[in-house]
Amino acid sequence: MSFFIREDPLTGERCIIASVRSRRPHLLREVVEEEPFQCPFCPGNESLTPKESFRVDGDSGWLVRVIPNKFPAIPHMHDVIVDSPDHRTDVDSMPHLDKLLWTYKERLVYYYNQDSIKYVAVFRNRGRSAGASIPHPHSQVLALPFYPRRFLKERDRYERENRNVLGDLMKKELELQERVLSVSKNFVVLMAYAPVTPYEVWIVPKEQVSSFVFESRFEELAEVLKDTVSLLKSFLGEGLPYNITFQSAPPWDRDYHYYIRILPRVAVFGGFELETENVIVSVAPEEAAMELRTVKYAGKTELK
């Protein structure tokens, strides 16, 4: 058993890592979703949803649809994005994932051009325990008239330390190689140093890009995201519930370094987390990196 307390260099939040092999949450059983009688996001059922505000078309019908959320957290500021016409797919098997990522960017640009919007959240919930109420693959975009807590905490660190905190962390991680999962031309994939969930992964652009609004390398990013999600699933189970979040600054804030988080929902928050707003994580990130790398290399050997 290993035990230590870590502070997230970006937010200053502490987490307890209490790594016990027997408590590992790997190889989850596939979550069986209850099927709705008629899926409002499947092709042919478009009339069941509000009229779309944006759409990406393919050779045989739409690939991505953006519709106003029927139950918005904030009226007129909350999109649902139907990620794919395929009810059973996920990001690791979505041929047009690059176009979905581009759609996120387009929606960010759209909302940041509205008056009084401070921050636009883009996220994707997969599986009931990750907050997805409809099993059909979808994402959400929610524009806020205030800066969210996590972003404020991070910005505070950037300002106080007067440096690119994430950029420096990434350089250190690349030297150490303890928590690095993969490196592509423009992106580094890392296990989070002080995670919120076991197996939390970050995808970080190598060069500083402050906001996803300025991203354009969607094909490469789609490949990186596919490989990472597929790796997590091959280790934690095909039915893995997880969230993807885009930690990205508004376009007027150029000092930030955006990144994407993948948060497997293999642990449930209990009283401790609610009382303290700190978390206990049952797998050390460097052990998680080692386990995932083993799966990755085992997979490669099989392909030969």
Q: Which residues bind Zn ion (CB under 5 A)?
A: 39, 41-42, 87, 136
Q: Which residues contact 129 (CB under 8 A, 6 or more apart)?
A: 31, 241, 265, 268
Strand locations in the chain (E) = 2-7, 14-19, 54-58, 61-68, 78-82, 119-126, 138-144, 180-183, 187-191, 201-205, 242-247, 259-264, 279-281
Residue among 91 and 166 whose Cβ is closer to Zn ion: 91
Residue among 36 and 145 whose Cβ is closer to Zn ion: 36
Shortest distance, position 136 Cβ to Zn ion, whole Å: 3
Shortest distance, position 196 Cβ to Zn ion, whole Å: 30
Residue among 15 and 64 whose Cβ is closer to Zn ion: 64
Structure tokens at 89: 């797919």
Shortest distance, position 87 Cβ to Zn ion, whole Å: 3
Shortest distance, position 111 Cβ to Zn ion, whole Å: 26
Residue among 41 and 242 whose Cβ is closer to Zn ion: 41
Residue 162 zone, left/alpha/beta (φ > 0; ψ -120 to 50; rest): left
Residue 212's SS3 state is helix
Residue among 131 and 148 whose Cβ is closer to Zn ion: 131
Shortest distance, position 134 Cβ to Zn ion, whole Å: 8
Structure tokens at 163: 């440096």
Shortest distance, position 47 Cβ to Zn ion, whole Å: 14
Cβ atoms of residues 91 and 226 within 8 Å:
yes
With the CA atoms of 48, 39, 33 and 59 taken in that order, what torsion angle do they form, in degrees rounded to the nearest 10? -120
Residue among 90 and 287 whose Cβ is closer to Zn ion: 90
The residue whose Cβ lies closest to Zn ion is 39
Q: Which residues contact 288 (CB under 8 A, 6 or more apart)?
A: 191, 198, 199
Shortest distance, position 84 Cβ to Zn ion, whole Å: 9
Measured from the Cβ of residue 239, the count of other Cβ atoms closer than 10 Å reads 15
Structure tokens at 100: 């979905």
Shortest distance, position 59 Cβ to Zn ion, whole Å: 20
Structure tokens at 199: 């197996």
Residue among 83 and 98 whose Cβ is closer to Zn ion: 83
Residue 274 CA to residue 285 CA, distance in Å, equals 22
Residue among 87 and 155 whose Cβ is closer to Zn ion: 87
